[in-house]
Amino acid sequence: MIHLGVNIDHIATIRQARYRGMLDLPNAEPDPVAAALAAEKGGARGITAHLRADRRHMQDEDLFRLREAIGTKLNFEMGNTPEILAIALRVQPEDVCLVPENREEITTEGGLDCVAHEAALRDTVTALQDAGVRVSMFIDPEAAQIEASARLGAEFVELHTGAFANAHDGAEDDELLRLIAGAELADSLGLKVNAGHGINYVNLGKVLRIPYLVELNIGHSIVSRAAFVGMEQATREMVDLLGA
């Protein structure tokens, strides 16, 4: 069965909209850690959180609290900066997913360019793996990016499904074929395959056609559904679809 990792960044987004700079207040809500625990009750096999350089949602203390509180695994998403790497090495998550990060974007847009930044990424991958952390590269399903991820020694690639999720008028089938080809190439190079970005309760069925999937990381859709049914139930509904 494919594992579900629940991204709780947007729980923190809601909190920061009201309580930015006031997290010491007892009413600073909603609490990302509480959301993570509810997601675990709903069947999540991991919790994903992205500590961005601008701290727009998750805060440093959130990652340390998650590390102590959750019972599954922590997938720490991060840009390749010395500051965030140092924090990741202190948090000691099971997994780190290296992602691109642009100041103006609302959420991560597009995959990491492992080809252009291969030299800069190599030391980061080595530092994380020397600390016992598994490394994933969040990349577009392009042969050059998958091959660079393999050269870097990453254990996983996480295929960026945003182009597929945002496609329409039949173009999503072409994007799905790219994802399938990317997964097949990754597997042939010894890489494990995750996927994420824009996956929801409606398009999940097509996503499951991608071979060799180990884990899907889903955030916005589950948080949106949780506004109506709660985090535990929203997670359980996605888990049920994964097992269908």
Catalytically active residues, by annotation = 50, 77, 197
Helices 171-188 and 143-152 pack at an angle, to 10 degrees, of 30
In the structure encoding, which two tokens stand for residue 149, read together?
């991820």
CB neighbourhood size of 109 (10 A): 13
Residues 6+ apart with CB under 8 A from 112: 98, 99, 100, 137, 138, 139, 145
Residue 200's nearest CA partner among 244, 141, 156, 241 is 241
